[in-house]
Amino acid sequence: MSEWVDFAAIKRSVEIVQVLRRYRVRLKAVGKNHLRGSCPLPTHGSPHSRESFQVDATKNVWSCHSASCCQARQGKVGGNVLDLVACMESCSIREAALRLKGWTDPVETSRRQKELASKEIRAVEEDLPPLALLPFRLRLEWHPYLEQRGIERQTAAAFGVGYYAGRGWMQGRVAFPIQDEQGQLVGYAGRSVDGRDPRYLFPPGFRKSQVVFNLYRAAATQAGWAIVVEGFFDCLKVHQAGYDNVVALMGVSASPRQSELLRSRFGELLLMLDGDEAGRQASAALARKWPGARIVAVPRTRQPDQLSSREIEEILRVP
Residue 223 confidence class, pLDDT cut points 50, 70, 90: very high
Residue from 24, 287, 246, 251 nearest 133 by CA: 24
Q: How far is CA 143 from CA 124, 240, 294, in A?
A: 36, 18, 36
| CATH architecture under which domain 217-316 falls | 3-Layer(aba) Sandwich (3.40)
Neighbouring-strand partners of residue 187: 178
The yes or no reply on domain 7-126 and CATH 3.40.1160.10 is no
Phi first, then psi, for residue 141 (nearest 5°) are -140, 165
As a whole number of angstroms, the distance between CA 179 and CA 41 comes to 27
Residue 23 is given by DSSP the state T
| Residue 72 identity (one-letter amino acid) | A
- pLDDT tens-digit readout, 264-278: 999 999 999 999 999
Residue 103 confidence class, pLDDT cut points 50, 70, 90: low
The yes or no reply on domain 144-206 and CATH 3.90.980.10 is yes
pTM higher than 0.95, yes or no?
Answer: no
- pLDDT tens-digit readout, 126-160: 333 332 333 457 889 999 999 999 999 999 999 99
Residue ranges of the domains in the chain?
Answer: 7-126, 144-206, 217-316
